[in-house]
Amino acid sequence: MKKEMSKTYNPKEVEDKTYADWESKGYFKPEIHPDGKPFTIVMPPPNITGQLHMGHAFDGTLQDVLTRYKRMDGYSALWLPGTDHASIATEVKVVDKLREEEGKTKKDIGRDAYMERAWDWALTYKTRITDQLKKLGASCDWSRERFTMDEGCSQAVKESFVSLYEKGLIYKGSRIINWCPTCKTALSEAEVEYAEQQGHLWHIRYPLPNDEGYVTVATTRPETMLGDSGVAVHPDDERYQHLIGKTVILPLLNKEIPIVADTYVDMSFGTGVVKMTPAHDPNDYEVGLRHNLEQIRVLNDDATMNDLAGIYAGLDRYECRKAVVKDLEALGLLEKIEEHQHNVGECYRCSTTVETMTSEQWFVHMEPLAKPALDVVRNRKTEFIPDRFSKIYYNWMENIRDWCISRQLWWGHRIPAYYCDDCGEMIVAKEMPSTCPKCGGSHFTQDEDVLDTWFSSALWPFSTLGWPNETEDLKKFYPTTVLVTGYDIIFFWVARMIFMGINEMGEPPFKDVYIHGLVRDSQGRKMSKSLGNGIDPLELIESYSADALRFTIITGNSAGNDIRWQDEKVESSRNFLNKIWNAARFVLMNLDDDIMDKKDEALAHLENTDKWILSRMNTIVQEVNHNMNKYELGIAASKVYDFAWNEYCDWYIELVKPRLYGDEDKTKIAAQYTLRMVLDTILRLLHPFTPFITEEINSYLPGTDGDIMIAKWPHFDETLVFPEDEKEVVFLMEVIRSIRNIRSEMDVPNSKKTQLFIISKNKKRVELMEASLLYFQKLASVSTIKLITKAEIDENFVSAVVDEVEIFLNLDELVDKEKEIKRLENEKNKLQKELDRVNQKLSNPGFTDKAPEKVVEEEREKQRKYIETMEKVMERLDYYQK
């Protein structure tokens, strides 16, 4: 005996239970289709710093849709999940927790004790994130879950670091870097975000020796002048050619520094003289290398001034700025101060203004790695979707600087470099050496720094599959199929995975890079804690269901574009799911249990309406497959939505209802079979988008062969192409719509039947309409259909034309004359009041002359509409009052 569906769908009773059932059956593992072609997605690993946000829900839904689609299509589909240790962000969280709960710093408890607390944090949040992804319906293979600091990934990091070092692609040296004074660590270029800030431009006079005058330089950071080791002018600047090779006196420190000529200087900007601070500006650093200028670092790691800053030592950088400006002013060397809007670099984690300074760090030499990574995108071995993002990739990769990979943190992959305690020799090795190759010593200290988080993340597509070991997963699933990620981490992650994949594996890590946008609030603003506009996806799941959240995300999405979140959309998605549930419930109440055994009999008695919906279903299947393969997921979902709601629920179910009641109709089995077949196809097409409700409905369908999650994905069927039947039913639907529109305009209740009069020379159309009388009776409140001539047309007929057929309804049959006159009189009175109001407004010069043109035009448009409506009302009144 078949189960009976409840009247309403309750996702809370379904989702957790269904997910646990899928997982217990091993459906998430690629082994579910062991002989299938591999399809692989590695999850962009969420940071272990809190719970998932809408961006994660967006990203995860897109990946799950693709994975479920490919799994149903017979692929050996692997969606490999994992989390990222997020060095800087996690260290900030753990340090804050340590201070708040124990009143201690990490140095108070030592590295080992600190790492224990960091691991406790990591394990707690890893579990929390996993649970949240499961609530979303993510069909990841959890048996293969990875963490960027697990044993396998750590082995991969060491292998890659040592390999790159031995190739000369990793080196240790003093270079200009970005430094966060709050996090107290180096940052790569990609970890600095630039924001517009209102600042100042200080114009400072640098005296020439022997009272020969001065040159004026302009700077946004006066405190850095304490580290100046020269000034530069353009070699072609006639104003300063006589000074090239001479010196100026550095104010406040009273020392002579050289004047050099370099084409870096823009003659048209400012005074054409630029102060050179090689230790605190990346451009000055490059000029300094060309002219052998001294690198004088005057800032400590906490952004206070060091001893090289003279009397300003110990001051905070901003305190120092005030003191320097004050002293320059006192000496008469401050020429002027201008307001200046400029881009200022901020730490992407804590938003502190970063400092650029020279520092001894570990670097990756990027030029040899960048070229092949550019080539694979240019040659389309790896494609960005949409393609416009490849231009962003090119721009960054073509201008890339050596990558600073060392971080002054404790949480992360510790750099595999060891220093002999006896002679200081440095050895780079995967494990601590036993003997120093230089002095034979046996005591070593490992480098204190850890690697940039993005170093281990760059290895993610192959380290997660077992590299550097030659595993079966690595052979089968690398390179992966598609990377799904946001445009905001093209620099951070995508580019690095590409060049590391090529370097270590000999080929890029994925064929396609599907770039999605950001989820913004209803006003188009980026969601953030500071704005308080963030949305918790778990709360939405609790209120609406995971399916409703997923469907909203997908139908609002197009590759590369941001989406604006609106609660109305998720409510609409929930309504759609309820519509499908109710439709399925109706269908199941009218199906024989053995309907799937009657296929031959059903196909022999198909009506044109059955063929229409089957043919339309077939077209939708073909289009959805095309859209899915082009990553047009939002378009695919919308097409299924429109077909399911408009064509299947609103039309086909209504058209076949009369055939379902009673057993005398020979086409009842055909109607039942078609209802069941189309519903099954809709559920399969919807499953990647709304997995829970489709699985639940599928469990009630008679003749189902297992769970829908591993059911076969629909494909185009040449036997289900019925173009003529499609044309016939589309024609009938248009006629019904026209009749409904006329009745709606006349405010005629559905209970009131009327004759349908038709004029047409198209015999087939007339015969079709006469044969379809039952549809017109049920769906358009038509009593009979009568073919008439033009001579029989009366002035009380209302008409419409549909594809060579004129249709007419008799007003006298439609309307109660006395009631209609009364209604029209009321409408006339309301319109007259509105007309009087707008006429009075437009005849007032005080309004028309002073109000904005847009407001005046809006009132004129209202006037036009009221006059037009009044004319129609009066015309109808004249007819009835004759």
**Domain holding 675: CATH number?**
1.10.730.10
The verdict on 688 and 664 lying in the same domain is: yes
* Residue 2 reports pLDDT greater than 60: no
Structural domain including 141 reads 29-158+461-516
Question: 12: which 2 tokens?
Answer: 């809370």
**Which of 413-427, 546-560, 812-826, 857-871 is predicted least confidently?**
812-826
**Average pLDDT in the 787-802 region?**
84
Interhelix angle 11-24/546-555, nearest 10 degrees = 90
pTM above the 0.75 mark?
Answer: yes
Nearest to 260 by CA among 284, 295, 296, 234: 234
**Boundary (domain end) residue, out of 316, 349, 382:** 349
* Residue 585 reports pLDDT greater than 70: yes
**Average pLDDT in the 419-448 region?**
96
Instruction: Identify the pLDDT of residue 332.
Output: 95
* Residue 311 reports pLDDT greater than 80: yes
Helix (H) or strand (E) holding 663: none
The verdict on 681 and 586 lying in the same domain is: yes
Helix (H) or strand (E) holding 214: strand 214-219
Higher confidence at residue 139 or residue 761?
A: 139
User: Rounded to 5, what percent of the chain is helix, strand, coil?
Assistant: 50, 20, 30
Any bridge partners for residue 249, and if so which? Answer: 256
Instruction: Identify the pLDDT of residue 6.
Output: 94
Nearest to 204 by CA among 250, 236, 136: 250
pLDDT digits (tens, 9 = 90+) for 813-833: 777 677 777 877 888 899 999
**Which of 1-5, 314-318, 622-626 is predicted least confidently?**
1-5
Grade residue 596 by pLDDT with cuts at 50, 70 and 90. Answer: confident
**Boundary (domain end) residue, out of 796, 814, 832:** 814
CATH number at residue 496: 3.40.50.620
Flag whether 583 is in a domain.
yes
Q: Are 228 and 277 a contacting pair, CB within 8 Å?
A: yes
Mean of per-residue pLDDT scores for the chain: 92
pLDDT digits (tens, 9 = 90+) for 240-288: 999 999 999 999 999 999 999 999 999 988 789 999 999 999 999 999 9
Instruction: Identify the pLDDT of residue 535.
Output: 81
* Residue 876 reports pLDDT greater than 80: no
* Residue 530 reports pLDDT greater than 90: no
The verdict on 339 and 236 lying in the same domain is: yes
pLDDT digits (tens, 9 = 90+) for 727-760: 999 999 999 999 999 888 877 888 889 899 999 9
Question: 374: which 2 tokens?
Answer: 């550019």
The verdict on 809 and 822 lying in the same domain is: no
For the chain, give the longest Cα–Cα distance: 120
Nearest to 535 by CA among 133, 79, 58: 58
The verdict on 491 and 582 lying in the same domain is: no
Flag whether 328 is in a domain.
yes
Kindly tell me the burial class for residue 793, based on how many C-beta atoms sit within 10 Å of its own C-beta (0-12, 13-18, 19 or more).
middle
Residue type, 66: L
Instruction: Identify the pLDDT of residue 664.
Output: 66
Higher confidence at residue 635 or residue 810?
A: 635
**Average pLDDT in the 692-716 region?**
94
Tell me the pairing of strands 754-759 and 383-385.
Answer: unpaired
CATH number at residue 762: 3.30.2320
Counts of helices then strands in the chain (DSSP H, E): 30, 29
Residue type, 813: E
- Percent with pLDDT over 70 in the chain: 98
Flag whether 59 is in a domain.
yes
Q: Are 224 and 298 a contacting pair, CB within 8 Å?
A: yes
The verdict on 698 and 769 lying in the same domain is: no
* Residue 812 reports pLDDT greater than 80: no
The verdict on 685 and 770 lying in the same domain is: no
Flag whether 242 is in a domain.
yes
To 10 degrees, the CA torsion angle through 830, 835, 840, 842? 150
Residue 136 and residue 61: Cα distance in Å, rounded? 8
Instruction: Identify the pLDDT of residue 784.
Output: 93
Q: Count of alpha carbons within 13 Å of 855, Cβ hemisphere only?
A: 8
**Average pLDDT in the 344-355 region?**
88
The verdict on 691 and 645 lying in the same domain is: yes
Interhelix angle 495-505/388-398, nearest 10 degrees = 70
Q: Which residue has the tokens 């640098």?
A: 206
Interhelix angle 668-686/653-660, nearest 10 degrees = 140
The verdict on 635 and 660 lying in the same domain is: yes
Number of domains in the chain: 5
- List binding-site positions: 529
Flag whether 431 is in a domain.
no
Residue 337 and residue 326: Cα distance in Å, rounded? 12
**Average pLDDT in the 320-344 region?**
93
Flag whether 303 is in a domain.
yes
pLDDT digits (tens, 9 = 90+) for 92-143: 899 999 999 999 999 999 999 999 999 999 999 999 999 999 999 999 999 9
Flag whether 442 is in a domain.
no
pLDDT digits (tens, 9 = 90+) for 144-198: 999 999 999 999 999 999 999 999 999 999 999 999 999 889 988 778 888 888 8
The verdict on 572 and 686 lying in the same domain is: yes
**Boundary (domain end) residue, out of 794, 814, 834:** 814
The verdict on 202 and 340 lying in the same domain is: yes
Flag whether 752 is in a domain.
yes
Ordered DSSP codes for 45-75: PPBSSS---HHHHHHHHHHHHHHHHHHHTT-
Q: Which residue has the tokens 């290895």?
A: 459
pLDDT digits (tens, 9 = 90+) for 25-68: 999 999 999 999 999 999 999 999 877 888 889 999 999 999 99
Instruction: Identify the pLDDT of residue 29.
Output: 98
CATH number at residue 866: 1.10.287
- List binding-site positions for ATP: 529
Residue 545 and residue 549: Cα distance in Å, rounded? 6
Q: Are 554 and 633 a contacting pair, CB within 8 Å?
A: yes
* Residue 1 reports pLDDT greater than 70: no
The verdict on 830 and 783 lying in the same domain is: no
